[in-house]
Amino acid sequence: MSADIKGDNQLYDDINVTPMLDLAYVLLVVFIILTTASVQGVKVNSPVTTAANNLAKPQTRAITITADGGVYLDAYPVDMDQLRTSLAQYKAANPALPVVLKADATAQYEKVMQVLEVAKKLDITEIGLVTKRAGN
């Protein structure tokens, strides 16, 4: 009888770290996914303004103009004809299509005007200009 009790109460010298490693790997994967999901769009240096209210509406289309004059629609490079065609399709699906224009502070003014002319010809009236708040 004493042999049975002694066999059931053995002390363990090591700890099973497998569940701890599984948890560490899951946390690592979640961290990587969340970090890459937060990076979106094309990085530009926006101009600074004191009256900035940059709240985007759902289904808002973003047009980005880089310092070298590249035009992007929702992070995809486009030329003016592709921009016109894509915006016309979005406008057909949503007549009150909101658009935000995010241009680099050193971008050519002519390129900004070309994009605004495309929006005007398509009768897109809800256009927001993305800027930085002063002091940030």
Task: State the amino acid at position 123 in one-letter form.
Answer: D
The arithmetic mean of pLDDT across residues 37-52, rounded, is 64
Coil, strand or helix: which one is 128? strand
For the chain, give every domain's residue range.
2-38, 48-133
CA distance 102 to 128: 9
Given a cut of 60, whether residue 77 has pLDDT beyond it is yes
The arithmetic mean of pLDDT across residues 48-56, rounded, is 58
Report in angstroms the alpha-carbon separations of 100 from 7, 20, 24, 55, 97: 73, 46, 40, 10, 10
Whether CATH 3.40.50.2020 fits 48-133: no
Work out the pLDDT band at 82, boundaries 50, 70, 90. very high
29 or 51: which leads in pLDDT: 29
Work out the pLDDT band at 117, boundaries 50, 70, 90. very high
16-30 pLDDT, tens per residue? 888 888 899 998 888
pTM for the structure as a whole: 0.57
